[in-house]
């Protein structure tokens, strides 16, 4: 039988450290830090000004002690003045993939993301972000032939400043929340995607975020713009070394879908979750939001959250265009002493807009899992529809599952449905599987995968396999 | 093949089996009949290794091995199959995937070839015909939304796939209409062979007209109180269980 203790003691496979010399920003957080980062990146003036405005706003929030307290997560106060906000491999930015440091290539290979031409994943273009900088992007030329821009955020700031200026902060303004303000001030890199009108992106676009430096936080920003009638599927993966201190990861992701455009955004989040006593691990405080700006547009979030000591994120959709569609599919696994407070906001602004929320929370060990969601229907949003299903699965008796759905409806033609249930992996199910010859480990994994099926089938094929494997890893060594 | 000696067991602190003695030889079909609460299902769970059932004393030897010492999955791999009276639902897990996981786990433990999805599908389609199972049902979640009859036929299909040495059938006839009963009985008969044995648990004689047993045992108060041939089942059908335990005491 699987005991909660055994589940909590699973190994983290990506906990290694890359031995590479890194340059870091001076410790601390002042206007000088912001200027230092902006100068490091040789940014145009508008970027520095925007960062400084964000930073001044952040300071007012710190003064008023307005870091978010409403989430069902518990951690000691973070001393933001004592942080390191930038770390990057020392060598100059490589001109091409061939010039990328061997240690870095080896790192990504170890993570299962080979960057070298002959080994690349077929059908997936990868932007590799290491601490505060993008170190390589594959398939860039192939994509640019179709007018698709895919690469690091820094590059986009240099090469496409008008696009960045137009869309940066247009979905998540720096005033949005505490961590969005912090990110806007200090963000270092991330990915930028632009899909021109009528283009269906032929590859999966993907960014792999790796934290390596011991003290620096990671603050990246991703911006995806899908022009009229275009389509893109994007995937983000992440991992970090095992350390006994907590590290902050505060990202912002903004998506914009124009008329008839579709963005599918998938995340497999596997940051270091801390050890079996809850020591160390990443604080994953992320703001993700998409705007269905045009009529008939669609944004779909799929997330598989297995890592981090604390996860605080609510990938949301603003349904502005008429007939636009927002979707949120989520699996969040908490074990050990992990805490997750995650869900979504679906804001219906346009007519005949539809949203769908499928949330699956799995709690084991001392894990605490909260679904928090908001469905908001604005006065103009006639005939809006929402379907919400949030299910929880408990393994053992020390863990917790919580559901906090909010609904605000200002148009009486709205139609909302909500379903929720909490279950345990029952002894009867396990026995049934074992009676058919399966080990209790395989039986658990089968039952849990069944529970997650509706979410996993939204993932691109290779990543569905990856997600299944991740859950299996988390159950490894669990047969007593 | 199976030798049960003086087996006593309890569940939730209540003693349910009180010294069962039963010998099942290769090729035999043993019917176990008894009223509600006599311990029939408990016997099947104890033999299959359900963790809630605690063996107090006695033993069960399968082909010379101590069955009660093995965890449930090892008993399955040793050839013990339990047809559940109330099959469990496993939402989101497709029946064909579920069955393949079990099939391959058993094959792997015996050093036999594991089947890939295509090979397995071919075999499964073929066996599904035995119990008249629609191919679309094989792609549905295990027992999820199945009718009572579908659940029973699904159990027999699983038995046909796994080809167990010892099948323990816990009321395969309960809740079935005449047509389903015929399909289930045919499925059981097809698996009868000189190498295999069946323990068939039932309230009623009805299924025993279709699956004719070699031995009929009457279980009451957690003990086998009478053993006989087919005529014993007919006697019970005519006269009921009342007084059966007294027969034993009179013989006593």
Between B237 and A170, whose confidence is greater? A170
Query: Chain B partners of A432 at a C-beta cutoff of 8 Å?
Result: 84, 87-88, 90
* Residue to test with chain B: of A436, A441, A446, A451, most B Cβ within 10 A: A436
User: Which of B73, B91, B109 is nearest residue A451 as measured by Cβ atoms?
Assistant: B91
Between A261 and B117, whose confidence is greater? A261
pLDDT digits (tens, 9 = 90+) for A432-444: 999 999 998 889 8
* Residue to test with chain A: of B73, B86, B115, most A Cβ within 10 A: B73
pLDDT-derived band at A272 (thresholds 50, 70, 90) equals: confident
Identify the pLDDT of residue A219: 86
pLDDT digits (tens, 9 = 90+) for A15-50: 777 777 777 777 788 888 899 889 988 999 999 999
- Check B101 against A438: CB less than 8 A apart: yes
pLDDT digits (tens, 9 = 90+) for A371-423: 999 999 999 999 999 999 999 888 878 888 888 899 999 999 999 999 888 87
Quick check: A242 pLDDT over 80? no
pLDDT digits (tens, 9 = 90+) for A327-383: 999 998 888 888 888 999 999 999 999 999 999 998 888 888 889 999 999 999 999
* Residue to test with chain A: of B45, B50, B72, most A Cβ within 10 A: B72
Q: Which of A415, A296, A388 is nearest to A350 (CA)?
A: A296
- Check B93 against A439: CB less than 8 A apart: no
- Check B103 against A447: CB less than 8 A apart: no
Identify the pLDDT of residue A62: 85
Between A139 and A178, whose confidence is greater? A178
pLDDT digits (tens, 9 = 90+) for A65-108: 777 777 888 888 788 877 777 777 766 655 566 667 777 777 77
Mean pLDDT of A234-255: 80
Does residue A206 contact residue A238 with C-beta atoms inside 8 Å? no
pLDDT-derived band at A2 (thresholds 50, 70, 90) equals: very low
pLDDT-derived band at A5 (thresholds 50, 70, 90) equals: very low
Q: Where are the domains of chain A?
A: 4-475
Identify the pLDDT of residue B19: 94
Quick check: A135 pLDDT over 70? no
Identify the pLDDT of residue A465: 76
Between A225 and A6, whose confidence is greater? A225
Between B55 and A141, whose confidence is greater? B55
pLDDT-derived band at A246 (thresholds 50, 70, 90) equals: confident
**Protein fold of B2-251:** Rossmann fold (3.40.50)
| Interface predicted TM-score (ipTM) of this complex, two decimals | 0.95
User: Rounded distance, CA A168 to CA A51, Å?
Assistant: 11
pLDDT-derived band at A271 (thresholds 50, 70, 90) equals: confident
Residue ranges of chain B whose pLDDT lies below 50 = 252
Q: Which residues pair with A136 in a beta bridge?
A: A128
User: Strands A221-226 and A191-195, how do they pair?
Assistant: parallel
CB atoms within 10 A of CB B223: 19
DSSP A454: H
Backbone angles phi, psi at A342, to 5 degrees: -145, 155
pLDDT, mean over chain A: 84
- Check A446 against B52: CB less than 8 A apart: no
Q: Which of A343, A420, A402 is nearest to A374 (CA)?
A: A343
Which of A400-430 are b and which e, b meaning 16 or more Cβ less than 10 Å from the residue's Cβ?
bbebebeeebeeeebebeeeeeeeebeebbb
Please give the share of chain A, as a percent, with pLDDT higher than 90: 39
Identify the pLDDT of residue A85: 79
User: Which of A429, A431, A447 is nearest residue B72 as measured by Cβ atoms?
Assistant: A431
Quick check: A319 pLDDT over 50? yes
Identify the pLDDT of residue A387: 95
Residue of B nearest to A441 (CA): B73
From residue A171, alpha-carbon distances to A158, A272, A292, A318 in Å are: 21, 29, 10, 9
- Check A432 against B88: CB less than 8 A apart: yes
**A63's tokens:** 């003064």
**A372's tokens:** 């928090």
Quick check: A7 pLDDT over 70? no
Residue of B nearest to A427 (CA): B51
pLDDT-derived band at A479 (thresholds 50, 70, 90) equals: very low
Query: Chain B partners of A452 at a C-beta cutoff of 8 Å?
Result: 92
User: Rounded distance, CA A86 to CA A218, Å?
Assistant: 8
Does residue A289 contact residue A171 with C-beta atoms inside 8 Å? yes
Mean pLDDT of A216-227: 89
Quick check: A193 pLDDT over 80? yes
User: Which of B73, B92, B109 is nearest residue A434 as measured by Cβ atoms?
Assistant: B73
Residue of A nearest to B106 (CA): A437
Identify the pLDDT of residue A3: 37
Residue of B nearest to A480 (CA): B71
pLDDT-derived band at A51 (thresholds 50, 70, 90) equals: very high
Identify the pLDDT of residue A420: 84
Residue B114, CA atoms < 13 Å, CB-side half-sphere:
11
The model's pTM is 0.81
User: Rounded distance, CA B92 to CA A29, Å?
Assistant: 49
Residue of A nearest to B91 (CA): A450
Query: Chain A partners of B162 at a C-beta cutoff of 8 Å?
Result: 436-437
What angle do helix axes A178-186 and A31-40 make, rounded to 10 degrees? Answer: 50
User: Rounded distance, CA A479 to CA A363, Å?
Assistant: 18
Residue of A nearest to B74 (CA): A437
Does residue B224 contact residue B244 with C-beta atoms inside 8 Å? no
Quick check: A6 pLDDT over 70? no
Helix extents (H) in A347-439 = 427-435
Quick check: A243 pLDDT over 70? no
User: Rounded distance, CA A109 to CA A82, Å?
Assistant: 33
């Amino acid at each position: 039988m699987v005991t909660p203790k055994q589940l909590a003691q699973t190994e983290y496979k990506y906990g290694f450290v890359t031995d590479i010399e890194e340059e870091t920003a001076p410790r601390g957080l002042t206007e000088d830090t912001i200027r230092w980062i902006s100068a490091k990146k040789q940014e145009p003036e508008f970027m520095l000004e925007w960062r400084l405005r964000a930073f001044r706003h952040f300071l007012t929030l710190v003064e008023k002690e307005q870091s978010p307290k409403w989430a069902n997560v518990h951690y000691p106060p973070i001393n933001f003045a004592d942080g390191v906000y930038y770390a990057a491999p020392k060598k100059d930015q490589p001109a091409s993939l061939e010039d990328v440091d061997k240690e870095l290539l080896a790192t990504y290979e170890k993570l299962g993301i080979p960057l070298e031409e002959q080994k690349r994943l077929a059908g997936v273009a990868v932007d590799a972000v290491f601490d505060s900088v993008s170190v390589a992007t594959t398939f860039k030329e192939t994509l640019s032939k179709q007018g698709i821009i895919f690469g690091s955020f820094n590059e986009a700031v240099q090469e496409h400043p008008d696009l960045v200026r137009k869309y940066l902060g247009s979905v998540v303004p720096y005033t949005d929340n505490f961590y969005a303000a912090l990110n806007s001030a200090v963000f270092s890199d991330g990915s930028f995607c632009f899909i021109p009108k009528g283009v269906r992106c032929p590859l999966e676009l993907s960014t792999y975020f790796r934290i390596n430096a011991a003290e620096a936080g990671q603050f990246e920003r991703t911006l995806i713009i899908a022009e009229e009638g275009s389509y893109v599927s994007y995937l983000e993966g992440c991992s970090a070394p095992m350390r006994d201190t907590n590290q902050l990861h505060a990202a912002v992701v903004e998506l914009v879908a124009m008329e008839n455009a579709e963005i599918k955004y998938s995340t497999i989040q596997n940051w270091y979750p801390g050890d079996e006593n809850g020591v160390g691990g990443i604080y994953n405080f992320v703001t993700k939001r998409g705007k269905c700006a045009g009529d008939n547009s669609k944004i779909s979030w799929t997330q598989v959250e297995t890592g981090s000591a604390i996860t605080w994120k609510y990938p949301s959709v603003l349904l502005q265009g008429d007939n636009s569609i927002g979707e949120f599919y989520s699996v969040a696994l908490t074990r050990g002493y992990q805490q997750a407070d995650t869900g979504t906001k679906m804001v219906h602004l346009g007519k005949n807009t539809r949203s769908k929320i499928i949330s699956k929370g799995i709690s084991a060990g001392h894990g605490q899992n909260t679904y928090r969601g908001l469905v908001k229907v604005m006065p103009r949003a006639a005939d809006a529809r929402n379907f919400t299903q949030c299910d929880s699965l408990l393994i053992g008796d020390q863990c917790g599952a919580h559901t906090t759905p909010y609904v605000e409806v200002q148009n009486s033609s709205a139609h909302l449905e909500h379903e929720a249930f909490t279950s345990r992996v029952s002894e009867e199910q396990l026995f049934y599987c074992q009676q058919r010859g399966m080990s209790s480990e395989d039986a658990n994994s089968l039952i849990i995968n069944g529970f997650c099926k509706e979410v996993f089938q939204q993932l691109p094929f290779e990543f569905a396999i990856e997600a299944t494997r991740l859950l299996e890893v988390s159950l490894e060594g669990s047969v007593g | 093949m199976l030798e049960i000696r003086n087996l006593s067991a309890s569940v939730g602190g209540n003693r349910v089996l009180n010294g069962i003695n039963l010998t099942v030889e290769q090729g035999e079909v043993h019917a176990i009949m008894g009223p509600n609460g006599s311990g029939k299902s408990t016997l099947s769970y104890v033999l299959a290794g359900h963790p809630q059932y605690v063996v107090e004393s006695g033993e069960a030897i399968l082909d010379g091995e101590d069955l009660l010492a093995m965890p449930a999955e090892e008993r399955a791999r040793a050839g013990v199959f339990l047809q559940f009276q109330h099959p469990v639902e496993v939402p989101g897990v497709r029946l064909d995937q579920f069955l393949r996981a079990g099939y391959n786990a058993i094959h792997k433990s015996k050093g036999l070839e594991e089947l890939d999805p295509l090979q397995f599908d071919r075999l499964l389609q073929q066996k599904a015909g035995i119990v008249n199972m629609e191919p679309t049902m094989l792609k549905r979640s295990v027992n999820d939304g199945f009718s009572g009859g579908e659940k029973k036929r699904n159990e027999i299909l699983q038995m046909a796939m796994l080809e167990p040495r010892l099948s323990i059938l816990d009321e395969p006839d309960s809740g079935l209409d005449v047509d389903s009963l015929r399909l289930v009985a045919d499925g059981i008969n097809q698996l009868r062979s000189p190498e295999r044995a069946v323990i068939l648990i039932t309230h009623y004689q009805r299924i025993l007209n279709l699956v004719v047993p070699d031995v009929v045992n009457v279980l009451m108060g957690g003990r086998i109180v009478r053993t006989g041939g087919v005529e014993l089942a007919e006697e019970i059908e005519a006269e009921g269980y009342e007084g059966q335990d007294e027969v034993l005491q009179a013989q006593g």
